[in-house]
Each structure stands twice: as C-alpha cells, then as structure tokens.
Chain A
C-alpha cells in the first residue's frame, strides 16, 4: 500500500501530540493512542475493505510486537507500545515495520546522546552489555542474576515521532506518495 496524504498527516499529528505530552508528563495517554488505533483500523477498513483492514491490523501487530518484549521486561512503557501500534495501524504493513525498526534505532541514538550529555557514556555501555548478556543467557537457559538497572529513562515517544517523521517526509525511506 502506498503512503497517502491522510496517512502521513494522521501519523504526523498523532506523533506531534504524543511527543509534546511525553516530554511534558513522561506519559502517552490512552485517550490519544486508543482512539487513533481504532480510527485507523476503521478508516483503512472503510477505504480498502478487507485488504485495508488486514494491512492496518498487520501494521499495528508488527509494530507493537517490536517493542512488546521491552514492556514484558518492564523496560518500555505501555504508552509507547500503544503509540507505535497506532502509528503502525495508520501506516499499514510493511511501512509499519520500517517505522518500528527506525523508532528502535532512533531510541538508541537518543539514549546515546543523553548518556554523552550526562557524562555517563561508559557506564551506559557497560550496563547495556550486562543487560544483553543477561537476556541472551536467559534465552540460552543459563541462570544469571539480573543486572542492576540505571533507572535512567528516555522519552521513547520522541523516538517514535522522529522515525515516523523521517519515514513520512523522506520518500526514499517510506515509499513515494
């Protein structure tokens, strides 16, 4: 499915409001994400019939699945998961997959930037390596104590917004309109 103007506009408006709210309150309200998700499914269902609804639902599920492990490990807020699901439903599959992957990378870059700004780059890399060892060790069945968390967070809604804007505004990434 090609990226249409209403999809691009809807995603930009949703992400702008979510970013503002996330920066201000470190929350992304359900009053924003859930209606956006439902509206996207309804509009795609109305415009593209069964195929539109399927692509929109696939977009929501695929985008949400990318960040759901983070929620399961209590590292990512559910507001972020629901925002990415809503963006995925608006953009539809396969753009939603690109948006999700780009959001993860943007989140990492923001995290790096914050660590450098706070002068805690080495500490962050050390904690990231420890978390990676713990997760992969756990997957391999090797019991290891969970590493201590830094308890430092980034507003991931901003990363979702940056990724979505890049996808929508740069046709080479998101596909032509």
Chain B
C-alpha cells in the first residue's frame, strides 16, 4: 500500500541514461526475436480470439 502511495505521489519525469540504453537494447532484441519467430502474429491472433470470445459469449 505504501509503495502504491509512493508511486502515485512520485511525479519524476526522468530516466537514468544507462538504464534507458539497456531498456532500448532489450526492447530492440525483443522486437527482432518477435518478428523473426513470427510471435507478433501469434500474439495478435490470440488477442483477436480473446476479443471475439468476449463479443460472442457461448450460449448457456
């Protein structure tokens, strides 16, 4: 609860440079792997299935 309160009160808008570089590197590798393995299509299809299931719930 205290951590959540700290999170809400914290308004800092800056990022440590080395962490920003590391996060960018991880994001770039993640994007490359997703596209190379075709995971982006799989994630999109799974999400579409979930939305379709919500829109057309099975009859009880």
Contact = CB atoms under 8 A, between A and B. Distances in A.
Contact of B18 (A18, A71, A150): A150
Interface residues of A, number: 58
B54 interface: yes
A4 interface: no
Interface string B1-22: 0000011111111111111111
Interface string A134-159: 01000000000000011111111101
Contacts of B31: 101
Contact of A54 (B6, B21, B30, B54): B54
B51 to A, nearest CB: 6
A21 B30 CA distance: 31
Chain B binding surface, main DSSP class: helix
B13 A111 contact: no
Contact of A108 (B6, B14, B24, B51): B24
A16 interface: no
A108 B10 contact: no
Interface residues of B, number: 31
B23 A28 contact: no
Of B13, B25, B28, the most chain A CB neighbours within 10 A belong to B13
B44 interface: yes
A111 B17 contact: yes
B22 to A, nearest CB: 5
B13 A107 contact: no
Given A21-B13, A101-B31, A110 B18 contact: no
Interface in A39-95: 50-51, 54-55, 66-67, 70-71, 73, 75-81, 83, 93-94
27 contacts: A22-B13, A51-B51, A51-B54, A54-B51, A70-B15, A70-B19, A70-B23, A75-B16, A77-B10, A77-B11, A77-B13, A77-B14, A78-B10, A79-B12, A79-B13, A104-B27, A107-B20, A108-B21, A111-B24, A112-B21, A125-B21, A127-B17, A131-B22, A135-B22, A152-B16, A154-B14, A156-B13
